[in-house]
Amino acid sequence: MPTLAVLLAVVTTLLAVALGIALRRTSAAWLRFRGQRVVVCPENQRGAGVRVDAVHAAFTAWTGSPQLRLSGCSRWPARGSCGQECVRQIEAAPRDCLVRRILAQWYEGKTCARCSAPIGEVYWAGTQPVLLVSDGAMKQWNQIPPEELRAALDTARPVCFHCYLMECASPRQAKTAVS
């Protein structure tokens, strides 16, 4: 009987290790491939906002390499039957096409266009800097469609969250918001 108990312990340990590895791969793939991304559409060579099916990527990662497919694209439904060749861009550089990473890199080292204070590190869960776009309006980054983000960043200037709040609280802005 002791041999059976040892064998059962070894099998249980091996199963626990295998399950742990599978869960680690699954969660790592889900974390890596979630979020809004910007890619260059192979069909028209313009920016497109896409989302990877992170759940599918996670479940296919059990065996090793996750299989990527899109769950959304700014060109759908008109081009919903595309071959999703843009997925190769995500496979090649998954972090570089993330909207948050693009913005964080753009804000890096910049100062506020209003008060000249350094923008500093962007914390996505808290107060976030905004963009002063070419027409002089301030926009939160999520108000800009992902497919237009890179073009907007070419002409935009950064504004700290404090100046954004002060602008929104000013009587002129409040009057504009009411009318």
Note the pLDDT tens digit of each residue in 148-162: 998 899 999 999 988
Query: Which position has the token pair 């266009």?
Result: 113
Render pLDDT for 10-52 as a digit per residue (tens, 0 to 9).
Answer: 888 888 887 777 777 787 888 888 889 999 999 889 889 999 9
Provide the total of helices (H) and of strands (E) in the chain, helices listed first. Answer: 7, 6
Cβ atoms of residues 62 and 20 within 8 Å? no
DSSP 3: H
Cβ atoms of residues 141 and 153 within 8 Å? no
pTM above 0.85, yes or no: no
- N- to C-terminal Cα distance for the chain? 84
**For residue 77, cis peptide bond before it (omega within 30 degrees of 0):** yes
